[in-house]
Amino acid sequence: MDELTGRLRRYVRARVASREDAEDVIQEAYLRVLRYSAEHQVQSQERLLFSAAKNLAVDARRRRSSRERTATDYAVLEACAQTWPAADEVVYASQRLKSVQAAVEQLPPRCREVFLHNRVDGLSYTQVAGHLGISVSAVEKHMARACLLIDTMLHDDVAKK
């Protein structure tokens, strides 16, 4: 290996990610300089060679960065796609939610109020009782009734379909 190629190799390796990229850049730089020199008058082939190598190294770094970003983007999309529910599952869940909402709306007013405070607002039976001014036993009975009625309405809804 001649001295010029050694300097060029060190110069390029400092600017690209891998040895393979460096060798590709060097080979392409030599090829471009030879082609250009065949058709044009060149004062310094060494300066032209280093300039071509520098530009090719920048291009190689950009390509590698773009490939890595694209690979990362695909990996993220793949991971998300695996966690997204299938379209039919979304439709089923949406229909099921509408059925539950309709069933809750059909509950008697006090029963619905107790149910929503417990299941939606996250209040304990004791907190619901205190909030509504009823006994914990009454809350338990309303909750049992609400769950039974909702279950019955949902099963009736499924049987109709």
Among 46, 62, 83, where does a domain finish? 83
Q: What's the pLDDT tens digit per position in 29-76?
A: 999 999 999 998 988 989 999 999 999 999 888 888 887 778 777 777
Q: Which domain holds residue 137?
A: 87-160
Q: Residue 114: how many CB atoms within 10 A of its CB?
A: 27
Q: Are residues 26 and 39 in the same domain?
A: yes
Among 40, 60, 83, where does a domain finish? 83
Q: Are residues 63 and 91 in the same domain?
A: no
Q: What's the pLDDT tens digit per position in 77-124?
A: 777 767 777 888 889 889 988 988 999 999 999 999 999 999 999 999
Dihedral, 148, 149, 154, 157 alpha carbons, nearest 10: 140
Q: What is the DSSP letter of 1?
A: -
